Amino acid sequence: RCILRHITSDSYSNPDGDRVVAVCMAPTPTLVTALLAIHKAGAAYLPLDVGFPATRVNHILADSRPALVLAYGKPSNLEGAAENNVPVLHFENIAKELENENGENLLVDEVGFKLSGETIATILYTSGSTGIPKGVRVSHRAALNRLTWQWQSFPYQKDEVCCFKTALTFVDHVSEIFGSLLTGHKLVVIPKTMTVAVDELVSVLVRERVGRLVLVPSLLRSILLYCRSPAAPKLPQLKLWICSGEVFPPDLLQTFFETFTNGQTICNFYGSTEVMGDVTFIQFRNAHDARSKLVQGKIPIGSPIGNCRIYLTDNACSALVPPGQMGEVLAAGLNNASGYVGGAQPDKFINNIHSNDPGYGTLYRTGDYARAVDGVLVYEGRTDSQVKVRGHRIDLNEVQAAVQKVQGVDKCYVLVYKPGEINQALVAFYTSQDEELQPEYLKVQVSLLLATYMQPQLISVPDFPLLVNGKVDRQQLLRMYEKISEQSQSQGPGSKLSIDLTGVQNNQRETAEVLLTTVGRVLGYALQGNKLSMNNGFFQ
């Protein structure tokens, strides 16, 4: 009733006619209660992470114009709410607003605005490749289709315990929260502090006997590294593992079945917020099953889920590509979102000229490439992962796979710094727990696996910075590289770069040193222990 007072106000208007309530609360049972109340009032909830910068929150509030922000405590990033004429209602103060309500006249079946399948259930802001947050409008129809498929394909065991650990701003929380609650299963809410500490996360999963887990491959790798230590618990009750959000490396799949041999199943889900998180899937029940389903050394993304279709087309989306040929991935069906807030990027949701079937009239352009091989889809990277560096087309996933093949490398993430600009750079960030892994050795091994123009600069990091949804924070990695590069280029005339004059004749050493120093300062090459020498290749 408190929420209804705000969303029925005559002064409230939303760019798309939606009734929206923003939520800025940490993961707690109180948060789940708030989401249920918002839906019961007939509104959509819009997550605002308590850790979001104030500038991002201000953009989201100005763009979506929610009726109010429901908060717990006093988040510091809501100072701009007043500027956007959005009232902030603190959950602990709701009792004051309802002081005339004694609870005796509240009905279990009391609802606010009538809901339909097209009513928006949640609005999730995602940056994508643009860097500008845009709100994805997810309908009840899309959410229910995803949940119904989940209940049918991966039914819960009678006493199965589920967990809510994914950030509310990430679409996977929908299946975590509502998948269990709508079937009457226990839901354990895991605080954010535990999700970033692998040992604490594993401990709570063991203690609560959680039966399934949704996670990104980078977190899976960290869990496997931890669980393979002799003293770590082995999670025997956790039978269903679901990977999504990032490319699933084959070596990680192999490591999974080397670590868990007691009937565990692992799945690779593919999708995005615009298709309710997941639109294709494939599952593996054991090591043999996993090996038999690999396609040319890659883990497929599988086949469409219920009431969804995938089309592989040319870049103009006008013609379907033949089997085996790479095409852009277009998704149609009940999982599709209802566009973006304010009708942003209308070119992402287009008419389906390839089918007249009801329910499949709109195509979502994922921006991904894939091939259809023997009835399954194989992911081939994003349209923005196929980059050109110095005139050569490079697949970042291929570079990443090569670096990760080197023994001692735990994780790797490859990015292009300032693509298309004169000082662009191909950079591979990697983590390693192997103290004996030397930069020069890694550089040599990578050079044996990749063509010269594909060899990246190698940057060792203690760990990868993560966004609230668990994905790697690419922008922070790029800022890290930029800082290192600036430090290299800002060295004064008297500073000593790492220069190797081996093989240079004595009468040419002075000239060579000037030349190599200039190259180092201009290109920022003197990084991570790399040595400049006359024997370096141009692309190095």
Please report, as a single letter, which amino acid is at residue 62.
A
- Spell out the SS3 assignment of 498-513: CEECCCCCHHHHHHHH
**Greatest mean pLDDT among 40-44, 335-339, 399-403, 405-409:** 335-339
Question: What integer is the mean pLDDT of 4-19?
Answer: 80
The answer to whether 44 and 122 have CB atoms below 8 angstroms apart is yes
In the chain, count H helices and then E strands. Answer: 15, 25
Could you give the percent of the chain with pLDDT greater than 90?
58
Question: What integer is the mean pLDDT of 290-309?
Answer: 97
Going by C-alpha positions, the residue among 389, 388, 366, 392 that lies closest to residue 379 is 366
Question: Which region holds residue 184: left if phi is over 0, alpha if psi is between -120 and 50, else beta?
Answer: left
Could you give the percent of the chain with pLDDT greater than 70?
88
- pLDDT tens-digit series, residues 369-411: 999 999 999 998 777 676 767 656 677 888 898 899 999 999 9
Q: 214 - beta bridge partners?
A: 242
Count of Cβ atoms closer than 10 Å to residue 365 Cβ: 18
The pLDDT, as a whole number, for residue 525 is 45
The answer to whether 294 and 318 have CB atoms below 8 angstroms apart is no
Q: Kindly report the pTM of this predicted structure.
A: 0.76
**Which pLDDT band holds residue 494 (cuts at 50, 70, 90)?**
very low
The yes-or-no verdict on residue 179 having pLDDT over 80 is yes
Domains of the chain, each with CATH number or no CATH: 187-376 (3.40.50.12780), 386-533 (3.30.300.30)
**Which pLDDT band holds residue 331 (cuts at 50, 70, 90)?**
very high
The pLDDT, as a whole number, for residue 295 is 96
The answer to whether 506 and 523 have CB atoms below 8 angstroms apart is no
**Which pLDDT band holds residue 493 (cuts at 50, 70, 90)?**
very low
Question: What integer is the mean pLDDT of 2-31?
Answer: 86
The pLDDT, as a whole number, for residue 199 is 94
- pLDDT tens-digit series, residues 428-483: 999 999 988 999 999 999 988 887 778 899 999 999 998 776 778 888 999 999 88
The number of CA neighbours under 13 Å toward the Cβ of 128 is 22
- pLDDT tens-digit series, residues 78-136: 988 888 889 999 888 886 766 666 656 655 666 678 889 999 999 999 865 455 789 99
Please report, as a single letter, which amino acid is at residue 420.
G
Residue 367, burial from CB neighbour count under 10 angstroms (0-12, 13-18, 19+): middle
The pLDDT, as a whole number, for residue 492 is 46
Count of Cβ atoms closer than 10 Å to residue 454 Cβ: 21
Identify the helix (H) or strand (E) that includes residue 280. strand 280-284
The pLDDT, as a whole number, for residue 191 is 92
Vertex 431: Cα angle to 430 and 436 (nearest 5): 110
- pLDDT tens-digit series, residues 56-87: 899 999 999 999 999 998 888 898 888 888 99
**Which pLDDT band holds residue 206 (cuts at 50, 70, 90)?**
very high
More confident residue, 55 or 243: 243
Burial readout 204-222 (b: 16 or more C-beta within 10 A, e: otherwise): bbbeeebbbbbbbbbbbbb
The pLDDT, as a whole number, for residue 245 is 84
CA distance 418 to 8: 47
Identify the helix (H) or strand (E) that includes residue 328. strand 327-333
The answer to whether 427 and 383 have CB atoms below 8 angstroms apart is no
Question: What integer is the mean pLDDT of 185-205?
Answer: 93
The answer to whether 70 and 25 have CB atoms below 8 angstroms apart is yes
The answer to whether 403 and 414 have CB atoms below 8 angstroms apart is yes
